[in-house]
Amino acid sequence: MRVLIGLTLGTMLLAGQTAPQQGMTKVHGDRFQTKLARIVTTGNAPRAKTARAQSTVVTDLEVNSYLRFHAQEQIPVGIVDPTLNALGAGRVGGRAIVDLDAVRKQKQRGWLDPMGYLTGRLPITARGTLTTQNGMGRFVLESAEISGVAIPKTFVQELLSFYSRTAEDPDGINMDDPFKLPSRINEIRVATGTATILQ
């Protein structure tokens, strides 16, 4: 479960939409939670070599409702109202309100470092392409913005590293690194408004 939330968080920080999604309900969140449990169960079960691939379709509304109603304790402190969008053709987007003070204060900043001038909680959006194959994934950032102002990839990487670090991985996620998909997921096909997870 933690790995899937990590994948969602990483994609959300690396990915963008322009406005929060409407119509999120606990029922939609429950539906995603049921699908997530089935994905994890399938990933943990022994699999016969002749077994057919398991396919699970999730919608933006289900994922975002899950993030709002079920995943609050799993989202790092300092990230508020995360949303994801499947934009089609492998493209994904995400939006969140991010506490930039926590990131800014983690190290000494020079006067040329733009992070030193950003304070408070601001909306971050980003877009990119998620490519998955044979149980591995890679994300390529296309664009990112803070309050509508374009920001460089290095800035996004600093945010991602800060909010994804753990005791086991003190450097956090590097967006350029390929990553192993959890729960024996072989591929994720991103269409407009939906993603199909193949195990």
Name the residue type at position 12: M
First-to-last alpha carbon distance for the chain, in angstroms, is: 16
**Residue pLDDT, tens place only, 182-194:** 999 999 999 999 9
pTM of the model: 0.83
Name the residue ranges covered by the structural domains of the chain: 2-198
- CA–CA separation, 129 and 143 (whole Å): 10
Q: Is the pLDDT of residue 5 over 60?
A: no
Q: Regarding predicted confidence, which is higher, 39 or 104?
A: 39
Is the predicted pLDDT of residue 6 greater than 60, yes or no?
no
* Residues 41/184/195/179 CA torsion (nearest 10 deg): 130
Query: Which pLDDT value is given to residue 16?
Result: 43
pLDDT one-digit tens code per residue, 110-164: 555 555 556 688 899 999 999 999 999 999 999 999 999 999 999 899 888 888 8
> Per-residue confidence at 106, pLDDT binned at 50, 70, 90?
low
